[in-house]
Structure 1
Amino acid sequence: MSTSTPSHNSFNTAKTLKLGKKQQYHYHSLAELGESGYDMERLPFSIKILLENLLRREDGATVTKEDIEAVIHWQAEAEPDKEIFFMPARVLLQDFTGVPAVADLAAMRAAVQQLGGKAAQINPFTPADLVIDHSVQVDHYGSAGAFGLNAKLEFQRNRERYEFLKWGQQAFDNFHVVPPDSGIVHQVNLEHLAPLAMTAEIDGEQWVYPDTVIGTDSHTTMINGLGVLGWGVGGIEAEAALLGQPSSMLIPQVVGFKLSGDLPAGVTATDLVLAVTERLRQVGVVGKFVEFFGPGLSQLGLADRATIANMAPEYGATCGIFPVDEKTMEYMRLTGRDERAALAEAYFHAQGLWFDPSQPEPHYSQVVEFDLGTVEPSLAGPSRPQDRVNLSDVRNSFRQALAQQLEREGKEVDATQRERWLGEGGNVTLAPELEHIDGNIKDNNVFKLCAPVRQPDGTTYNLCHGSVVIAAITSCTNTSNPAVLMAAGLLARNAVKRGLQTKPWVKTSLAPGSKVVTDYLIRAGLMPYLEGLRFHLAGYGCTTCIGNSGPLPDHISAAVRDTDLAVAAVLSGNRNFEGRINPQVKANYLASPPLVVAYALAGNLNMDLTKDPLGIDPNGEPVYLQDIWPDKSEVDEVIRQHVSSEEFKRVYSNIFNGDESWRGLAAPEGELFQWHNDSTYIKEPPFFHDMSPEPPGLADIQGARVLVKLGDSVTTDHISPAGAIAEESAAGQYLIQQGVKPQDFNSYGARRGNHEVMVRGTFANIRLRNQLAPGTEGGMTRLLPDGAQMTIYDAAQQYQQQGTPLIVLGGTEYGTGSSRDWAAKGTLLLGVKAVIAQSYERIHRSNLVGMGVLPLQFQNGDNADKLGLSGEERFDIVGLENLEPAQTLTVKATADDGKVTEFQVRNRIDTAKELEYVRHGGILPYVLRQAITS
């Protein structure tokens, strides 16, 4: 890409890097700042990357000399209060978030033309890659034909979306699409797309600078494992970056995570990341950078680092970055990027960005020390990734959660039976499905543990509370890591040789992050053993972790539904929120790939895999987990023999070409997309309809009603679900009215290009508990003041007809989870003007701002319950015409009897730039008006 460089160079840092005899690159030297007397050694790696970003972009307006000085003099302990503008080198998209982003860009082109501009003014300025990876579902599994059948269904369901993305590929510059069935966005980014050292032609000269990236998926942070600074943002912010708008941010605090020691035998990278997640959640790192350092760094290969970096959203950090060192270069060469590695190594050495353990440690806002030797085999669940559970405690974890759930549902639980279930007296030595006496269960009690099931082939068994009905090796978290994939294959081999089989009620699947994974599993001779346990390839993409687990078999589904069983899923993913994995599965545990295989063999969470046998071999002997767990030395040897750079080079040599189905797509052409009114997948977004050339500004909110009153830890999955669309839901009824059959609904994620579906799906998660509609789950509320119960969408429509503004009341960690732009877009389209919560997840707060919705935060330890707010009051929020960033506002809540409750909230529009976005009605109208005026 050729561009022009800002003319300012206040610190005289422009230098030249020579590589070999002919190659020469210009760059802005951090080492030159050190020579000028500035203390560069005290700055963390990540802060240095931010500093270089500003040095290169200094123009006296967006980036000033004062901005650069503020980063040079970064104060570790200072609370963030200085705004800077970060411009990523790249933007990364996946198709769930990418389709609405491309739709918004297409709609902006039409709007610009209508307002007198040229459509081509709306064009990506920043290079962008979109990987189609979130649409494949596990409809078929456990057979050699599963992958082909799932891929065929994927194209049938998503043809409109894929044609639209193919149109975007030809219509927009700097925009590339990785076709479906190629891999998971983060793994493709890690293994191929990321250059580590970015190059560009600027004013006819070659420049080099650090690769940086923002992505429309929370787990964009996976690339931090490679030393690339990047994080997840909402689709709205990503679209702005595509159009050349920098990201407004406060100079962050940086938590140093000091690693020491060695991982014990039998412990995996998954166990490590669950322990790190738990520890950092306890520390509290929301809104902060986390940077890993210390002597233990040398014990972690790049794939292990990427596993830890991937889960930064789960521990709450903006990013979890590792510095560049020899391990980084080894991985670059392994993955076929030798030339990139040579440039990167020279550049990072020249910049003083190379990790040298002999150098003084940087200053950090806080240092957390962590001994790798303390890590134990673990899972996380049953509904949050930060809730780590030792392998030996999984049984009790599930039973406690089940008891709490039953009590929450108001079901009577006899105290004696509860003790039998939760205490030692209820323990079992084999899964309860196997404990038959004349067809009955020995330990049957008030919990109604089990229900008889007959499979189509005549096999009978009892399905029980805790039965593992889904076991999935999936998600970018682990499938980028050969150590845990090979361990899963070796454990499968050992299990098959002992005569074990997975239980018949378990839906098994293997969905790797790239085709390299299946290549090395086949080369190592391990794929037949995984297939022998029904872990056949189901697809290359984000399946179970995103909610694309597909339906349970009919006989399983019926048993779960008819007897209200609390069945379980075990997956090697990073997300396990309520209602996400499968609507019928109530307990979801994250685990390493080998433990996923182990639980498929065991078949139930009501086992202690450190003590109880996984099953009985043909000789009648019990087989324990330790009997089949592979030795680390064998895992390392198999990796050494069968994971090679040739595989990476071959797989990625034609990554943008796609298969025959993709190449055969007949995509439309032209600058403007021709919208089809009858489409149920792609509709013109309404955000620019009747947009005025001038911004509307802000006005006071008066007489607002509460649409939804929520508790703590409400996720973006609760606000905007990504999984199955229920037939009886508002979105399901809309699709039926459009002539779509329920079997063709697809998922909410796949329908994100249709705002009519998405607004009806907002606050429609089946596990959402709206306190305004007690005793209900799902998208229900009461229309005030009469209190009639109806869907949230229907109530919002009636409020809008009345001209009544709406607000949402929330608790702590509001909007945690995925960087889901529709959680903010849907909130806006429902008519919500403001959200008042105790605290916000970083990305969702930014997304609300990006859509022009006010994020307000309770002060002084207040929350809705402490203030006695029922949610039935009318709310006034005044002073918005002269709003300032982080301003304290007074809210008045007036009850029907006239009682007024006043309380303070902090405006969480944190920066002047964000305030400008809100005054324009959101970041997209702001960018559109900027395009017209420029």
Structure 2
Amino acid sequence: MVRLIKNGVYLIKGQTVLEAKDPNTLCELNGSVVEKHNARQETMAYRILNQHNTSGNPDQLKIRFDAMASHDITYVGITQTARASGLKEFPIPYVLTNCHNSLNAVGGTINEDDHVFGLSAAQKYGGIYVPAHQAVIHQYMREMMSGCGKMILGSDSHTRYGALGTMAVGEGGPELVKQLLNKTYDIQYPDVIAVYLEGKPQVGVGPQDVALALIRAVFANGFVKNKVLEFVGPGVANLSVDYRIGIDVMTTETTCLSSIWTTDEKVKEYFGIHGRSEAYAQLAPGEVAYYDGMVVMDLSKVVPMIALPFHPSNVYTIEELIQNPYDILHKVEEEGKQQINNPFISFNLTNHIVDGKIRVDQAIVAGCAGGTFENIMDVAAIVKGQSVGNQYLSFSVYPASQPIYLELMRNGAAADLMASGANIKTAFCGPCFGAGDVPANGQFSIRHTTRNFPNREGSKPGEGQISSVALVDARSVAATVANGGCLTSATEIDYTEPSHQYSFDGVVYKNRVYNGFGNPKPESELKFGPNIADWPEMIALPENILLKVASVINDPVTTTDELIPSGETSSYRSNPLRLAEFTLSRKDPQYVGRAKQVHALEKERESLLKTSGSQPSDALKEALKQVLQVKAAFSADFTEIMNNTGIGTVIYAVKPGDGSAREQAASCQKVLGGWANIAQEYATKRYRSNLINWGMLPFTLSSPLEVPLSTEDYVYVPGIRQRIINGEETIPAQVIGPNGVRELMLELKNLTQDEKDIILKGCLINYYSM
């Protein structure tokens, strides 16, 4: 099904694969040797990146994007940050969509206040505003903004439009701020991995099945982490554009940086249907292209898959799960209990085995992954004439845009769904992050959505709530519904694939979308609701820092959902201080209290530096006396320590930052006085970038800890400011704890000059406003 080639490979004329088993492997074409350096430049990724690079150095990229996109839990913070940094107008098309907090279900008026702010920002700065329920962010960008050879940046991790010839990147908000201020996205040239597709999927196998097979093969081993995936091979032609889109959007879960696909007549037809024929160009690698590795997938051998709690990489075939339900679910159950780590929570999956069959309580097809036209057409064909029933099983379908919904109404598919008992809802991302269709406590939900992280479905373990989500392709979701809620593979049922002819009607957008790009109205006023708050003042990095360990997370991977929960907390993302109250609330409920206690000491220290004659409190004295335990500080004067040593907090996690692009996973720590993270490694580039952009130090360890850190410990990092100025990458520190002092060697690898300056200034806002 999936094979990894970890050596470099040459792809000859898009078809023949030559594995470079050693560095001296030569590739010949028409009797001439092709140099590896030249062949590297024949990938689609190289060409597009080079066209958008402003540095003049192909190894150190400074990218300017063609367009950007944000949704309603990110665009307020981005606009506020850019405004504080001198924003005058949006220099490139910036689409503000409203697909996350569209229900206005939490916090009174505050969600709709954000929407009003978004429209006022689009008017003032010249943006594009897509009202609630019109389209999920990525569907609108596919339909209206993608283009072959373009690059798009989005403040959502699933910003992926590679199937449409567009290299797209999901990042935290500060990276979008940089683009709004005419700055660049700075990265080293990434490795490029070919995904070589061959064969044709069997009937009943959908894009989510292919995506999950890919994720299973590459996530745990980090094979494609922070790399670009380039989809090539004869199998591409056997996939419709919607099918390609469904695979492509899930590449985020592989932890790759971006993606790009070869384009063909089917893509040309897609743009023509959407009234944008000029957006098409044929993309393909050159005659000989060199890749840093390859994933070979035989589409004909892919079978229906299921990602069990609590990660998209926890993948099994549906067949093996049905054949051995107890052993597999018991294993997942035990792993889940360790991850939840709450003895008061009853997490049970095996109780969903009834008479040897796995029964589900909820079925959903939604969002940027599930809500595409062809997915829903297949779902309608499978459930036509069937009944959802009047028991506990529920079934909801969310078309990804109003134009899709309109076409489903016109061709009768919506009527077939409604007649079966399915609920058809408007374009909304809520089921993907716990703000819509939250299951009841203990229920098991199967979904064609993007993620199944713990509590992302909306449960609250701290209040005794837990439910579970498994990711399944829309076709097997529908097959399960048609089989009365017993988990069923779509290849096990007989159905006729419907005709997928699609007619796009853009009148919906014409009548509702505000397009002000190129026509800013600076005289317009931004409209603020009471929950929309400015960022608090953040100071520059002190000479030395004393960090109290505020949380220790030893899980193999920590998601951004665990760092700052999604769901109803998203309603507070326009208010930095209020949102910060939820930091780590579902992983380490004591974190906020610990962080606040330390932050109060730092605020007192800063206040004392501005006044004369005031004496530090006993608590501040006690904290700063920790420094005196370090030999190098024995001769230091207490006043000198107070003047030059900032007090903050640090989180230790093995591998933090998997999942969402949300900047708040970092900014909430900073708002509460965080100065750093310490990790073995960072799960994604975007989380590390978020830390840096909020002035936090992304420390890694030079070697595994011999003695674990605890929340009783301080970490003292002397001379950190000067070491960053000097460009040092190895940073000596000391751990000060109940058992004395021990040395700790930290690393700050590969910081660019801009990143160093941002950290020194204290955050991105300070960097641009000073």
In the superposition, the TM-score normalised over structure 2's length comes to: 0.81
Q: How far did residue 896 of structure 1 move?
A: 1.3
Alignment of 1:303 onto 2:242: yes
Alignment of 1:180 onto 2:146: no
Q: Which residue of 2 aligns with 1:545?
A: 432
For the residue of structure 2 that corresponds to 1:815, the secondary structure is strand
Give the number of equivalent residue pairs: 676
Q: Which residue of 1 aligns with 2:648?
A: 806
Q: Which residue of 2 aligns with 1:717?
A: 561
Q: How does 1:23-102 map to 2 (within 5 A)?
A: 39=38, 42-54=41-53, 57=54, 63-64=55-56, 67=57, 71=58, 82-102=59-79
Q: How far did residue 487 of structure 1 move?
A: 1.1
Q: Which residue of 2 aligns with 1:399?
A: 330
Q: How far did residue 386 of structure 1 move?
A: 1.4
Q: Which residue of 1 aligns with 2:758?
A: 917
Q: Which residue of 2 aligns with 1:8?
A: none
Q: How far did residue 655 of structure 1 move?
A: 4.6
Q: Structure 2: any 5+ residue segments left out of the alignment?
A: 1-35, 460-464, 516-520, 605-618, 624-646
Q: How far did residue 183 of structure 1 move?
A: 0.7
Q: Which residue of 2 aligns with 1:639?
A: 500
Assess, with a 3 A threshold, how the Cα gap between structure 1 residues 136 and 470 changes in structure 2: closer, same or farther: farther
Task: Give the one of 469, 478, 487 matched to 2:370.
Answer: 478
Assess, with a 3 A threshold, how the Cα gap between structure 1 residues 194 and 687 changes in structure 2: closer, same or farther: farther
Q: Deviations over 1:794-840 (max 9, x none)?
A: 54555545566333343343111110111111010111111001111
Q: Which residue of 2 aligns with 1:218?
A: 157
Aligned AA for 1:721? P
Task: Give the one of 119, 129, 142 matched to 1:190.
Answer: 142
Tell me whether 242-251 or 504-513 shows the greater mean CA deviation: 504-513
Assess, with a 3 A threshold, how the Cα gap between structure 1 residues 271 and 551 changes in structure 2: closer, same or farther: closer
Tell me whether 848-857 or 754-763 shows the greater mean CA deviation: 754-763
Q: How far did residue 895 of structure 1 move?
A: 2.0
- Distance (Å, rounded) in 1 between the aligned partners of 2:345 and 2:99: 44
Q: Structure 1: any 5+ residue segments left out of the alignment?
A: 1-36, 58-62, 72-81, 110-120, 140-152, 197-209, 349-353, 432-465, 561-565, 611-624, 659-667, 724-746, 771-778, 782-789, 930-934
Q: How far did residue 49 of structure 1 move?
A: 0.9
Assess, with a 3 A threshold, how the Cα gap between structure 1 residues 503 and 587 changes in structure 2: closer, same or farther: farther
Instruction: Tell me if structure 2 keeps the 8 A contact 1:814–1:839.
Output: yes
For the residue of structure 1 that corresponds to 2:738, the secondary structure is coil
Q: Which residue of 1 aligns with 2:445?
A: 569
- Distance (Å, rounded) in 2 between the aligned partners of 1:266 and 1:599: 12
Q: Which residue of 2 aligns with 1:820?
A: 662
Cα RMSD (Å) of the superposition? 3.3
Alignment of 1:831 onto 2:757: no
Tell me whether 818-827 or 882-891 shows the greater mean CA deviation: 882-891
Q: Which residue of 1 aligns with 2:612?
A: none
Aligned AA for 1:369? V
Assess, with a 3 A threshold, how the Cα gap between structure 1 residues 298 and 409 changes in structure 2: closer, same or farther: same
- Distance (Å, rounded) in 1 between the aligned partners of 2:288 and 2:570: 44
Q: How does 1:760-779 map to 2 (within 5 A)?
A: 760-764=581-585, 766=586, 768=587, 770=588, 779=589
Assess, with a 3 A threshold, how the Cα gap between structure 1 residues 810 and 261 changes in structure 2: closer, same or farther: farther
- Distance (Å, rounded) in 1 between the aligned partners of 2:511 and 2:288: 43
Task: Give the one of 233, 238, 243 matched to 2:176.
Answer: 238
Q: How does 1:861-900 map to 2 (within 5 A)?
A: 862-863=704-705, 866-880=706-720, 881-883=722-724, 887-898=729-740, 900=741
Assess, with a 3 A threshold, how the Cα gap between structure 1 residues 294 and 405 changes in structure 2: closer, same or farther: closer
Aligned AA for 1:49? I
For the residue of structure 2 that corresponds to 1:501, the secondary structure is coil
Instruction: Tell me if structure 2 keeps the 8 A contact 1:254–1:364.
Output: yes
Instruction: Tell me if structure 2 keeps the 8 A contact 1:184–1:542.
Output: yes
For the residue of structure 2 that corresponds to 1:311, the secondary structure is helix
- Distance (Å, rounded) in 2 between the aligned partners of 1:237 and 1:918: 15
- Distance (Å, rounded) in 1 between the aligned partners of 2:695 and 2:557: 23
Assess, with a 3 A threshold, how the Cα gap between structure 1 residues 131 and 595 changes in structure 2: closer, same or farther: same
Q: Which residue of 1 aligns with 2:378?
A: 487
Alignment of 1:649 onto 2:626: no
Assess, with a 3 A threshold, how the Cα gap between structure 1 residues 503 and 231 changes in structure 2: closer, same or farther: farther
In the superposition, the TM-score normalised over structure 1's length comes to: 0.67
Aligned AA for 2:98? I
Alignment of 1:901 onto 2:742: yes
Q: Which residue of 2 aligns with 1:529?
A: 416
Q: Which residue of 1 aligns with 2:470?
A: 589
Tell me whether 157-166 or 224-233 shows the greater mean CA deviation: 157-166
Assess, with a 3 A threshold, how the Cα gap between structure 1 residues 157 and 507 changes in structure 2: closer, same or farther: farther
Q: Deviations over 1:405-446 (max 9, x none)?
A: 557655899xxxx9x969xxx964376xxxxxxxxxxxxxxx
Q: How does 1:142-221 map to 2 (within 5 A)?
A: 158-173=111-126, 175-196=127-148, 210-221=149-160
Q: How far did residue 99 of structure 1 move?
A: 1.6
Instruction: Tell me if structure 2 keeps the 8 A contact 1:124–1:244.
Output: no
Task: Give the one of 308, 313, 322 matched to 1:386.
Answer: 313
Q: Which residue of 2 aligns with 1:847?
A: 690
Q: Deviations over 1:301-327 (max 9, x none)?
A: 222222222122200100122133333
Q: Deviations over 1:275-299 (max 9, x none)?
A: 1111221452111111111121211
Assess, with a 3 A threshold, how the Cα gap between structure 1 residues 389 and 796 changes in structure 2: closer, same or farther: farther
- Distance (Å, rounded) in 1 between the aligned partners of 2:548 and 2:389: 52
- Distance (Å, rounded) in 1 between the aligned partners of 2:166 and 2:648: 41
Q: Which residue of 2 aligns with 1:630?
A: 495
Q: How far did residue 264 of structure 1 move?
A: 2.2
Q: Which residue of 2 aligns with 1:252?
A: 190
Assess, with a 3 A threshold, how the Cα gap between structure 1 residues 859 and 392 changes in structure 2: closer, same or farther: same
Task: Give the one of 272, 275, 298 matched to 1:371.
Answer: 298
Assess, with a 3 A threshold, how the Cα gap between structure 1 residues 38 and 656 changes in structure 2: closer, same or farther: same
- Distance (Å, rounded) in 2 between the aligned partners of 1:535 and 1:749: 27
Q: How does 1:749-768 map to 2 (within 5 A)?
A: 749-764=570-585, 766=586, 768=587
Q: Deviations over 1:616-663 (max 9, x none)?
A: xxxxxxxxx6675423xx32xx213xx12xx343444335159xxxxx
Alignment of 1:699 onto 2:665: no
- Distance (Å, rounded) in 1 between the aligned partners of 2:407 and 2:710: 58
Q: Which residue of 2 aligns with 1:116?
A: none
Assess, with a 3 A threshold, how the Cα gap between structure 1 residues 280 and 868 changes in structure 2: closer, same or farther: closer
Q: How does 1:787-802 map to 2 (within 5 A)?
A: 791-792=593-594, 794-800=596-602
Instruction: Tell me if structure 2 keeps the 8 A contact 1:807–1:836.
Output: no
Instruction: Tell me if structure 1 keeps the 8 A contact 2:674–2:696.
Output: yes
Instruction: Tell me if structure 2 keeps the 8 A contact 1:240–1:924.
Output: no
Alignment of 1:708 onto 2:551: yes
Q: Which residue of 1 aligns with 2:355?
A: 429
Assess, with a 3 A threshold, how the Cα gap between structure 1 residues 806 and 211 changes in structure 2: closer, same or farther: same
Instruction: Tell me if structure 1 keeps the 8 A contact 2:169–2:257.
Output: yes
Q: Which residue of 2 aligns with 1:335?
A: 274
Q: Which residue of 1 aligns with 2:642?
A: none
For the residue of structure 2 that corresponds to 1:220, the secondary structure is coil
Instruction: Tell me if structure 1 keeps the 8 A contact 2:552–2:709.
Output: no
Aligned AA for 1:401? V
Aligned AA for 2:96? L
Q: How far did residue 41 of structure 1 move?
A: 7.3
- Distance (Å, rounded) in 2 between the aligned partners of 1:573 and 1:708: 31
Assess, with a 3 A threshold, how the Cα gap between structure 1 residues 300 and 816 changes in structure 2: closer, same or farther: same
Instruction: Tell me if structure 1 keeps the 8 A contact 2:553–2:654.
Output: no
- Distance (Å, rounded) in 2 between the aligned partners of 1:42 and 1:248: 19
Assess, with a 3 A threshold, how the Cα gap between structure 1 residues 882 and 792 changes in structure 2: closer, same or farther: closer
Instruction: Tell me if structure 1 keeps the 8 A contact 2:124–2:522.
Output: yes
Q: Which residue of 1 aligns with 2:360?
A: 468
Q: How far did residue 608 of structure 1 move?
A: 5.4
